[in-house]
Amino acid sequence: MNKQQEQFQPAPLDVLIIGAGLSGIGAARALTDKCPDKRYLILERRDAIGGTWDLFRYPGIRSDSDMYTLGYSYKPWTGRKAIADGPDIKRYIEEIAEESGAIHNIRFRHQVMSASWSSDEGLWTVRVKATDRTGETREERIRTRFIASCSGYYSYDEGYRPEFPGESDFTGQIIHPQFWPEQLDYQGKRIVVIGSGATAVTLVPALAEQGARVTMLQRSPSYIFARPLVDRLAHAMQRWLPLPLAYRLTRWKNVLLGQRFFRNARTRPGPTREYLLHLAQRQVGSEVDMKHFTPDYRPWDQRVCAVPDGDLFHMLRSRRVDIVTDTIDRFTPGGIRLASGQELEADIIVTATGLKLNALGDVRLEVDGKTMAVADCMAYKGMMLSDVPNLMLTFGYTNASWTLKAELTCNYMTRLLRYMDRKGARIAVARRDPAVKALPFLDFSSGYVQRGVDVMPQQGDRECWRVHQNYLKDKYMIQYGRLDDGVLQFQ
């Protein structure tokens, strides 16, 4: 019996991975490389690999991080674009799944509903809803030593969608980007995109490029800056150096530049703000009022939006896109009336109003008969939940590429599993110290973060309980720090 067939036998698994997106496939690759003796299975609620990059299908969908850091360290990004399109990212994930053999260990249309831990057995019992291709469902139970939760941080079932007065009066179509209609014909249509974040700045130029007449309606501005679509230095290094070396150098260049930018924003917010506004002013010139690009918060209090080759700015300068900063009074039959009295005509309204956060993909946790609310737990090194044994939580950076932290997390898991094998331990659990002060998991003022405070775990005011938005600090702590640190306990 080969290893791939063994994955599906009824004996307890070593690791159950939840989610077949960028994080889940990365976790599988790490297990294959570093713990080849471990039996794992991936459960994916959808019917395809890709996670975010399979779910989101709106026009222009792309990364808001460069692919040299959004990609994994072991698989060089060879695409032309540094800011890649969604389908290209999905293919990248599929290639890792094929190369690592993870593709053979995925059960699609399997949604994890709950997980119950028994300390006596040292095992999780996971309840799963499986759906066949006819739509029939059945319940399965899987037992596993470890769980790797790689299901992301937002709900796949619903986005954040505020209700606006008069919506029922609007005679056109209202769309949330998370659920974009596959056959939508929008060429020549008047479209109002409500929002100012990464989704809005992606959608607006893409819709206009395909012939729509687009207005970007924002309640408040975001920091937006132009970033090269193609990293010419990276391509030059690829021509002259071995590909792995060129990729590694580009990756570190981008990590260090990103860390420096974020540190400057936090330690010198005034000059950083002036610098970003200066860059925006150079892009829009005198044709566009800078009030639309002048936020009332400090840089990196919310995520800074990058637009490749300044595509949004170009559309605004050429009058192919309009931008309005105002609040909504109500929807009307023909569009939107603003608080200022202005009316925006629309055939389609796109509510790019954000995500709805959740933790663990809404999986209900129980430890030795006690229900564990994720929001009541504290995050140990940003990867494990206090008093929840043998569970790894993947949560990437808000100020850098998601994958940087995801790769550290899956490598830590394999390191931890090997350590437990050497010590003969079955259980690893971070015990919460009541003396550690609880703080919000994310230090971010973005609306989606503030709305999700009650569903996310907490962080603490002491080192191993801090959630660092710092790759270099995390890399040292996670990759080289002691496993048996006095907080993580083994049984």
294 dihedral zone (left: phi>0; alpha: psi -120 to 50; beta): beta
Q: How deeply is 240 buried, as exposed, middle or buried, from its count of CB atoms within 10 A (0-12, 13-18, 19+)?
A: exposed
Percentage of the chain beyond pLDDT 70 is 96
Q: How many CB atoms lie within 10 A of CB 217?
A: 24
For residue range 374-398, list pLDDT tens digits in order: 989 999 999 999 999 999 999 999 8
Which two three-digit tokens encode residue 54?
Answer: 């399979």
Reported as a pLDDT band with limits 50, 70 and 90, residue 5 is very low
User: Is the pLDDT confidence value at 1 over 50?
Assistant: no
For residue range 170-198, list pLDDT tens digits in order: 999 999 999 999 889 999 999 999 999 99
User: Is the pLDDT confidence value at 154 over 90?
Assistant: no
HEC string of 59-124 equals CCCECCCCHHHHCCCCCCCCCCCCCCEHHHHHHHHHHHHHHHCHHHHEEECEEEEEEEEECCCCEE
For residue range 403-425, list pLDDT tens digits in order: 999 999 999 999 999 999 999 99
Q: Strand, coil or helix: what is 20?
A: coil
Q: Tell me what pLDDT residue 351 has.
A: 96
> What span, in angstroms and rounded, lies between the C-alpha atoms of 73 and 407?
8
Q: Tell me what pLDDT residue 2 has.
A: 41
For residue range 132-143, list pLDDT tens digits in order: 988 899 999 999
User: Is the pLDDT confidence value at 7 over 60?
Assistant: no
Which two three-digit tokens encode residue 165?
Answer: 């007065």
**Dihedral sign, Cα of residue 8, residue 9, residue 10, residue 13:** negative
Q: Which of 97, 93, 109, 118 is nearest to 40 (CA)?
A: 97
Average pLDDT over residues 472-484: 91
Number of H helices, E strands in the chain: 13, 25
For residue range 262-285, list pLDDT tens digits in order: 999 999 999 999 999 999 999 998
For residue range 29-58, list pLDDT tens digits in order: 999 999 999 999 999 999 999 999 999 999
> What span, in angstroms and rounded, lies between the C-alpha atoms of 191 and 426?
57
On whether the pTM is more than 0.75, the answer is yes
Per mean pLDDT, which range of 258-267, 282-291, 361-370, 438-447 is the poorest? 438-447
